[in-house]
Amino acid sequence: NAPLTSHYNLSHSYRNVINLATLLNDHNGNPTVKDFIPRLKDHLLARLQKQEYNGDEWIFTSEEWHSVSFVNNLNCIFMPKQLQLNFMTYDIRCDQDTLYSGHGDTIMMCSCEEGASAHPFWYAQLIRACIFHVYYEGAQHTMDMLWVHWLGVEPGYHWGINQAHLPKVSFVPDCESAGAFGFVDPALIIHACHLIPVFTEGQTDSLLCQGPSLAWPKDKVDDWKSYHVNM
C-alpha cells in the first residue's frame, strides 16, 4: 500500500519490466501509439524544465528532444499493474483508490483551462502506468507517469445543482484528434472517478479504429457513446 505520506505509489518490481520498443512495434499503425516517442519527450521535457502542466502543449525544438535519452533505449521500462492513490475525502478522512492498468479505470484531475465556461476537471482512462529512467543534462532522472486516453466534456451540455444533471463526457476519438492520448504526472491526479454509461445513447465502435488497441481493456470491442461523471 502507498504510505500516507505519499500521494501515490507505483511498484518498481522487476516483474513489471517490459520492452517498450517491442510493444510499440507490435502495435505499429494503431493511433494509440502514433507519435508516441515525440509526445513522450514533450511531456518529459516539460517536467524536467519544471514547466506548468498545460496538457503537453509546450513546443520544443529537435535539439531539446535530443537532450533527453532513455536508459537502456526503451528495452527495460517499468509498467506497474497497479496505481495506488491516497486522497482526502469530503469529511476529512484519508482514503485510497487502487487502479489497474488496462482495465478501464478512470481518473480525474484539476482542469488547466481558464474562462467562465471552463470545466473544473479533466477526465481520462488509464492505459498504462509507466516508470522511465532518462538522461537529461548529464544527470539520470526517474519519471513516473500515466499513459491515458482523454475524455472530453460534451459541448453545450449544462450540468450542476441547478440543472440537476451530472457532468457528461465521452472519449476523444482517436481518428480525429492528435490529443486523444497523452501523459500525466500521477502527482496531479486527485483520485479515481466513477463513470456511469448513458445507456439511452447506446454503444459505438467509431471512437477507436477497428482492431486490437492498447486503449481498450482485453476483449472489449466498443464504447458507450457518453458517460455521466458520478459525483
Model confidence pLDDT, tens digit, residues 152-208: 888 877 777 777 689 899 898 876 556 889 999 999 999 999 999 999 999 887 766
What is the sign, positive or negative, of the torsion defined by CA atoms of 122, 205, 130, 140? Answer: negative
113-151: per-residue pLDDT in tens? 877 778 889 999 999 999 999 999 989 999 999 999 999
How far is 22 from 9, CA to CA, in rounded Å? 26
Which H or E run contains 155? none
What confidence tens digit (pLDDT) does each residue in 34-66 have? 889 999 999 999 999 999 988 888 889 889 999
d(CA 69, CA 44): 10
Of 70-84, 106-120, 192-206, 210-224, least confident by mean pLDDT is 210-224
Q: Is the pLDDT of residue 5 over 90?
A: no
Other CB atoms within a 10 A radius of the CB of residue 55 amount to: 16
Say what the pLDDT of residue 14 is. Answer: 78
Q: How confident is the model at residue 12 (pLDDT cuts 50, 70, 90)?
A: confident
